[in-house]
Structure 1
Amino acid sequence: MIITDLKTHVLAAPLEQPFSFSQGWVHQRTAMLVEIHTDDGLVGWGECINHGLQPPQVAQAMVEHALKPLVIGRSIFDREVLWETMYNHTRPYGQKGAALFGIAAIDIALWDLAGKALGQPIHRLMGGAFRNEIRPYATGFYRREGGKYPEEVVEEALRHQANGYRA
């Protein structure tokens, strides 16, 4: 099962109400997806985090220009070799941030492909499941323009608790 193509997709949605955190104001939520095609018609998907204020196009450019050429023509089962190859290739200019985020997106897509090819859930390919369920948690508690801090985040926490969140 050989990788024949890799496509990237940037997703962005403006926020109705921007918020701030330690790095600045966030006006939109973004993601960059990786879509990998194989010679036998399988398609695997991976997602790249866009931390803080990073434009998703930064990771997209990293994947398209630095990483894609390294994986085309390779086997989907060479995950470890491909990870090391991508990391070592980008080491002089990317030991963190967009380079690692792009590598992670490709790695996730390769795991997705392996699971599909073998008809197995990814957790089984990674050595098994430690649990059958997870406890969801609420996140947020950001500052909002014109907001009252910390009063509004206390109210938010109480809403999450009322909705059944324990963490």
Structure 2
Amino acid sequence: MKITDVEVMCLRIPTRGEECVWGEDAVLVRITTDTGIVGFGEADTSPMVVRSFIETPNSNLACFGLRELLIGENPLEIQRLWDKMYESSSYAGRRGAGIHAISAVDIALWDIASQHYQQPIHMLLGGKYRDRIKAYGTFIPADKPEDNKALARELLDKGFTGMKFGGGLFGNDFDHDLNVIKAVREEVGDDVTLMVDLVSRWRTFGNALSICRKLEKYNLEWVEEPIPSDDLDGYSRLAAAATQKVAGGEILSTRYEFKDFIERGRPDIVQPDITRCGGISEMARIRDIADLNGVQLVPHGFSTGILLAATVQFLAASKHGTLIEYSQSDSPLFTDLVGDLVPLEDGYVPVSDTIGLGSQLNWDLINQYRIDY
């Protein structure tokens, strides 16, 4: 079997020039083979940057576009192709968007392998530890604190027993944040697990610790990305001093960044995104590093149904993969792109034994939101 084409599809709901927020754009990769098997992957990042990284012609021996590297190759040689892409794009890649692009390709290769061998991806990864995975819902909080009661109630009605919120205005002003947390906790009661995502807005160790102590009465399960991920000393000190668990890592890529983050930052929870960290293949290496250091891995995931399906398959094959993030975005790129979106059942997502990612894509939606400029 040989790869015959690597196609990049960029999707965007707002028109160019209009502001785009989480969930309103996406980039998909379609890999076609000479046997007719087609695999899909995605990267949760800047779509046009990924497109450029995949389609660009080479500049030197370490600056190839991924498409040139993949055409004519056997898609079943996933590890060898990961290494080839990483090494042959190292001038432009190695971290950030270059690894995001490799992530999308890697996911598509696992999709192809599953179809070729007629085995679920979790079987190819070593076997299924569980038939369902507990989910927590993630939402972007409303600007008015009281309005978040209704949002939290919606998640309760769907069966979630855990929820996380961040983005929007949250994290910019302590009094505002306090009122949001208070409103949500009052609505859901003491038995629901609450987490908050600060997208690094608390900035420093001292400020983050001060706020964590003020929030102790609200019994937060974890504070996510409280300070920049580059501040490894700050993470280590905060994880040691705060009563809440400290989580982070969604913006990091490859085992190399995660090794530093885990061993030096000492977070309680590490959150690689399967569409950014290097795909399914690299996620497995990051998981092993986390396990060796006693750190819980809870993947980040706030994009399309392709990401969700890939994350379910990965966690099913992970001994400690017991918790998954489930986006509450109302973007059609989440709700309608994949016709067989992984369902939520009584607060859990089922682990499918389907072949491949099982993604029945909505081509009318793709054609509606596809951009080629």
Shift in CA distance, 28/118, structure 1 to aligned 2, threshold 3 Å = closer
* More relative contact order, 1 or 2 (CA 8 Å, 6+ apart): 1
Alignment of 1:6-155 (within 5 A): 6-14=6-14, 26=21, 29-50=24-45, 54=46, 56-65=47-56, 66-142=65-141, 147-148=143-144, 150-155=145-150
Question: Partners in 2 of 1:158 and 1:28 — Cα distance?
Answer: 22
CA contact (8 A) 1:141 1:153 kept: no
The residue aligned with 2:160 is 165
1:21 aligned residue: none
Pair member with larger Rg: 2
Q: Which structure features the higher share of strand residues?
A: 1
Deviation at 1:93, TM superposition (A): 2.4
Partner in structure 1 of residue 5 of structure 2: 5
Give how far 1:9 is off: 0.8
Residues 5, 38 of structure 1: 8 Å contact kept: yes
1:28–1:159 CA distance, 2 compared to 1 (3 A): closer
How far is 1:102 from its partner? 0.7
Q: C-alpha displacement at 1:69, in angstroms?
A: 0.4
In structure 1, how many angstroms separate the alpha carbons of the residues matched to 2:22 and 2:40?
Answer: 26
| CA positional deviation for 1:153 | 3.1
Task: Specify every segment of 5 or more residues in structure 1 that has no aligned partner in the other structure, as ranges.
Answer: 19-23
Counterpart of 1:88 in structure 2: which amino acid?
E
User: Unmatched 5+ residue regions in structure 2?
Assistant: 57-64, 163-373
Report the identity percentage.
Answer: 38
Q: CA deviation at 1:114?
A: 0.7
Count of residue pairs brought into register by the alignment: 152
Give, in whole Å, the separation in 1 of the partners of 2:114 and 2:4.
18
RMSD: 2.3
**Residue identity opposite 1:60 in structure 2:** R
Write the letter of the residue equivalent to 1:100.
I
Q: TM-score, with normalisation over the residues of structure 2?
A: 0.38
Alignment deviations for residues 44-69 of structure 1 (CA, whole Å, 9 cap, x no partner): 1111112xxx3x11111112221110
Cα distance change of structure 1 residues 3 and 137 upon mapping to structure 2, 3 Å threshold: same
Give the TM-score normalised by structure 1: 0.81
1:96 alignment partner AA = R
**Are the structure 2 counterparts of residues 160 and 27 from structure 1 closer, same or farther at C-alpha, using a change threshold of 3 Å?**
closer
Quickly say closer, same or farther: Cα 1:28–1:116, change in 2 above 3 A: closer
SS in 2 for 1:94: coil
**Could you list the per-position Cα deviations for residues 42-98 of structure 1 after superposition, in whole angstroms to 9, with x for gaps in the alignment?**
111111112xxx3x1111111222111001111011111110111112222222221
Task: Give the AA of the match of 2:116.
Answer: A
Bigger Cα displacement from structure 2, 115-124 vs 26-35: 26-35
Comparing 25-34 and 2-11, the one that deviates more: 25-34
